[in-house]
Structure 1
Amino acid sequence: MENRKAIEAGQDITMQKEDFAALWKTIHLKVTDTYEVPPEILWVNGSTIGTLGNFSASTGKAKSKKTFNISAIVAAALKNDEVLKYSAYLPPNKRKILYVDTEQSKYHCHKVMERILRLAGLPTDKDRDDFVFIVLREQTPDKRKQIIGYMLENMPDVGLLIIDGIRDLMYDINSPSESTDLINLLMRWSSGYNLHIHTVLHLNKGDDNTRGHIGTELNNKAETVLQITKSQQDGNISEVKAMHIRDREFDPFAFRINDNALPEIVDGYVFQQPKQDRNFPLTELTEQQHRKALENGFGKQVVQGYSNVIAALKQGYASIGYERGRNVLVSLNKFLVNKRMIVKEGKGYRYNPDFHY
C-alpha cells in the first residue's frame, strides 16, 4: 500500500522533458540577463509601498477604518495623483482598477464605490471603464478565486487589484498549506499579469498580530504591510503606519472622517511614543550586533515553541553582552518580528539573515 502511494506520488511530480524545457526558460537566472526595475505605482510621503508585479496589504482591527484607508489608495490611483498621503501613478496601459469585496452587501459596497469617486473628484452619476467593482460575498472561496482569475485573464489593462477580504479566499486561515497556496496564487497573479495587488486582513483582537497562518505568510512575502489603528487619544481618529516595508519607512499619519463622510488628514497630530525598556537600547544596537546575537541564538534551525524562542533570544543576546529578563525579551521578540529579523515558520521561528535593518 505504501509503495503504491509512493509510486503515485512520484507520478504526480514527474515532469516530461519537453515540459521542463519550457519551464527552464522562465526559472533559469543568468548573470548576463538584464531586468527592468519594477515600475513603482504607489507611494506614501515619497516611500514606495507598491510596485507592479508585487502585492501589499492593509491590516487593522474592526472599526479601525481600514476600508476608508483603502478608498484613499484607490482614489489616488484613479486620479494618478495624491489623495490623503497616498500618491499613485498607473502606466497608460495599466490604468484599470479591479476592486473585489468579499464581505459587504451590494448596498454598502455601492457606498464605498461612491466614496472613492468623490475622493477622486469624479462624478458619481456615470460608470467608468477604468474602475470595475465586483461583490463576491455570496460566493464560495474557490468560486471567488475562479472569478478573479477569469477577470484578470480577460482584462490585461488592470494595474491595481484590491481584494477587500483576503481571508474569504480560503476556508481555514490557520491552514499552512492553504495559506501557502493562496500566497503563491497572489504572487502568480501579480507577476503573471504585471499588476499590483493590495489585500485587506484583520488583526487579532487580543494583540497586533495579523490573523492566522495567512497573516504570517502575508508578513513574510508582502512588499508592504500597512497597519491602521484607532487612536487611543481620540476614537474618531485612525493612525496609519508601516508594519513591514521593503523601502524606507515613512512617517506615520492620521486621518478622521469629515462631515462629508470622507477621510481627511489630521494636521498637527502628535503620535504617542511607544514605551521601551530604557535598560535595553534596541535602537542603539548595530545591525552587526543583532546578526551575531541571532546567529548565536538561532543558528539555521527553526525554534519551536514561544518559550524556546525566548530562551534562544536570551542565549543569543547574552552572548554579546546583553543579558536581560523575560519582559525585555518579549519586547525584543516583537521588535525582531516587526523588522523581519526573525520570521515565523509554522509554529516556530527562524533567523532571517536577509533582513534590512
Structure 2
Amino acid sequence: MDKANIPILTQPPNKDDVVKKWHESRISMTEEYDTGAVVIQVDGIPIGTFGNFSASIGKAKSKKTFNVSAITAAALSGEKVLTYEVCLPEGKNKILYVDTEQSKAHSKKTLARILALANLPDGTDTDRLEFLSLRKYTPKERIEIIECALATTEGIGLVIIDGVRDLLFDINAPLEATQITSILMRWTDEYQIHIHTILHQNKGDENARGHIGTEINNKAATVIQVEKDKVDENISKVSAVLTRAQTFPTFAFRINDHILPELVEDYVSEPKKAGRPSKKEFDPYFDITQKQHETALERIFPTMFDEFNYEDFQNRLVEELRTILGSFNKNKAAAEITFLRNKRMVVQDNGKLYRYNRGGYRY
C-alpha cells in the first residue's frame, strides 16, 4: 500500500473532544431525528434534502451546466423549471453557486441564463444568489472560500458546486477523495443545507471520474446522469443513476433559440426498431453482481501477496468470469478492469502490478 495515502496523526487527539463526538454520535430509540426537509424534486419525487448532497454526472458537452442552471432557476423562482421543483423555506432561501472551471466572462453567461430561466430582470443582481468564479485559485483556496461564504452568509439553503473535481489536487488520490466527500457531508450537516455537485464521467465508460467519482457514488443521496440522446445529439436526457428512494422518470431538454434549456415534451428515450432489439452494451455494474466480482478476484488472488501485470490479470479474469458467467471475452475484461479500479477493488501499488484490495473498498 502506498504510504503516502495513509493518514497520519501528527499529534494525539484531544480526549475530551473525542468523548464529546462519541456522545453526540449515539443513536437512541427514544429520540426523534430530523430526516431533512425535501429541497429538490422531479415530478414530485425527492432527489435532495437538507443535510445531504446530490450530484450530476455526464460526459463533456452533455449540457450538465445547463441542467444545473435549471435547478438553480427553480430555486430562485419557486416555479417548476424543466421538471425540477425546488423548495427553500423562509430564512434559508439563498443560493451559493460555485463555478470552478469557467472564466468570469463565461460564468456571467451562466448567471444570465439562470436569471432568464427564473424570469428575473436582465442585467440586475439578486441578493438571493451568490455566484462565485473560483477558476484562478488552488483546490485548497477554493475550499477555504466556500467555507468562508457558508460561515459568514446567513440564509443559504442550496449550494451548487460546478465542478467538485477542482476541489482536489489529484482526482485519483483515494485519501483526498475521502477528505472532500467528508467535507461535503460536514457542510451539509453543520449548515443544514443541500449541496448539488457536478462531475465528469470517464470517456470509456459510464462511471464518474476518478476516486472522487467512486466516493460520490457511495455517499450522495442521488446521482443524476446527463447524456446526449443517441438519436438526436441536440437533445440531452436526464435520468437517475443512483437513488436512495424512488427513481424519477427520465426526461430530456434541448437548447432553444434564446440559448436556454427547454423541456422536450413526451420524450421517448430509445424508440423501438423493427426486427430484433440491438444487443445491450456490456456494463460491469449491472451485468455482474458484487458476489461474482468478488468470487473472481478471490480465485485470481488467493493470497494477499499475489500480484499480476495487466495482461496476466486480464487473461485470468477472462478465465474466471467465463467459468462463472458461461461466456466472457477480453473486450469485456478491459471494461471490467476499469470498473474494478474505479471501485478500488483492485489497485496498483508496485509499479503497474495489480492486487486485490481486500477490505479496502466500498461497493
TM-score range for the pair, normalised by the shorter chain length: 0.7 to 0.9
2:32 maps to which residue? 34
- Aligned residue identity for 1:179: A
CA separation in 2, counterparts of 1:297 and 1:232? 33
CA separation in 1, counterparts of 2:238 and 2:108? 25
Shift of 1:260: 1.2
- Aligned residue identity for 1:133: F
Identity of aligned residues (%): 44
CA RMSD of aligned residues (A): 3.6
The answer (yes or no) to whether the contact 1:298–1:350 under 8 Å persists in 2 is no
The answer (yes or no) to whether the contact 1:176–1:346 under 8 Å persists in 2 is no
1:62 maps to which residue? 60
Q: In the TM superposition, what whole-angstrom CA distance separates every residue of 1:148-207 from its partner, at most 9, and x where no partner exists?
A: 001101124111101111111111100111111111111111111100111111112222
CA separation in 2, counterparts of 1:332 and 1:139? 35
2:176 maps to which residue? 178
> What is the TM-score normalised by the length of structure 2?
0.78
* Aligned pair partner of 2:247 in 224, 238, 249: 249
Structure 2 portions without partners, runs of 5+: 1-7, 272-276, 348-355
CA separation in 2, counterparts of 1:56 and 1:292? 27
- Aligned residue identity for 1:207: D
Shift of 1:113: 0.6
The answer (yes or no) to whether the contact 1:103–1:164 under 8 Å persists in 2 is yes
The answer (yes or no) to whether the contact 1:343–1:350 under 8 Å persists in 2 is no
The answer (yes or no) to whether the contact 1:76–1:87 under 8 Å persists in 2 is yes
* Aligned pair partner of 1:265 in 260, 263, 266: 263
2:196 maps to which residue? 198
2:216 maps to which residue? 218
Seen in structure 2, the aligned counterparts of structure 1 residues 223 and 350 have a Cα distance that, compared at 3 Å, is farther
The answer (yes or no) to whether the contact 2:98–2:134 under 8 Å persists in 1 is yes
CA separation in 2, counterparts of 1:14 and 1:346? 32
CA separation in 2, counterparts of 1:310 and 1:92? 57
CA separation in 2, counterparts of 1:198 and 1:346? 29
CA separation in 2, counterparts of 1:311 and 1:205? 27
Which SS does the other structure have where 1:192 is aligned? Answer: helix
The answer (yes or no) to whether the contact 2:54–2:222 under 8 Å persists in 1 is yes
Seen in structure 2, the aligned counterparts of structure 1 residues 87 and 275 have a Cα distance that, compared at 3 Å, is farther
* Aligned pair partner of 2:42 in 30, 33, 44: 44
Shift of 1:314: 5.9
Shift of 1:106: 1.0
User: Do structure 1's residue 139 and structure 2's residue 137 form an aligned pair?
Assistant: yes
1:24 maps to which residue? 22
Structure 1 portions without partners, runs of 5+: 1-8
> What is the TM-score normalised by the length of structure 1?
0.80
Shift of 1:312: 6.8
Seen in structure 2, the aligned counterparts of structure 1 residues 158 and 346 have a Cα distance that, compared at 3 Å, is farther
Shift of 1:31: 2.4
CA separation in 2, counterparts of 1:332 and 1:168? 26
The answer (yes or no) to whether the contact 2:226–2:239 under 8 Å persists in 1 is yes
- Aligned residue identity for 2:209: R
Seen in structure 2, the aligned counterparts of structure 1 residues 32 and 332 have a Cα distance that, compared at 3 Å, is farther
Which SS does the other structure have where 1:208 is aligned? Answer: coil
The answer (yes or no) to whether the contact 1:98–1:131 under 8 Å persists in 2 is yes
The answer (yes or no) to whether the contact 1:239–1:254 under 8 Å persists in 2 is yes
1:112-191 pair list within 5 angstroms: 112-191=110-189
The answer (yes or no) to whether the contact 2:321–2:327 under 8 Å persists in 1 is no
Which SS does the other structure have where 2:141 is aligned? Answer: helix
Which SS does the other structure have where 2:182 is aligned? Answer: helix
Paired residues, what number?
A: 330
Seen in structure 2, the aligned counterparts of structure 1 residues 256 and 331 have a Cα distance that, compared at 3 Å, is farther
The answer (yes or no) to whether the contact 2:321–2:328 under 8 Å persists in 1 is no
Seen in structure 2, the aligned counterparts of structure 1 residues 232 and 277 have a Cα distance that, compared at 3 Å, is closer
The answer (yes or no) to whether the contact 2:318–2:330 under 8 Å persists in 1 is no
Shift of 1:309: 6.8
CA separation in 2, counterparts of 1:47 and 1:310? 41
1:5 maps to which residue? none
1:338-353 pair list within 5 angstroms: 344-345=344-345, 347=347
- Aligned residue identity for 1:227: Q
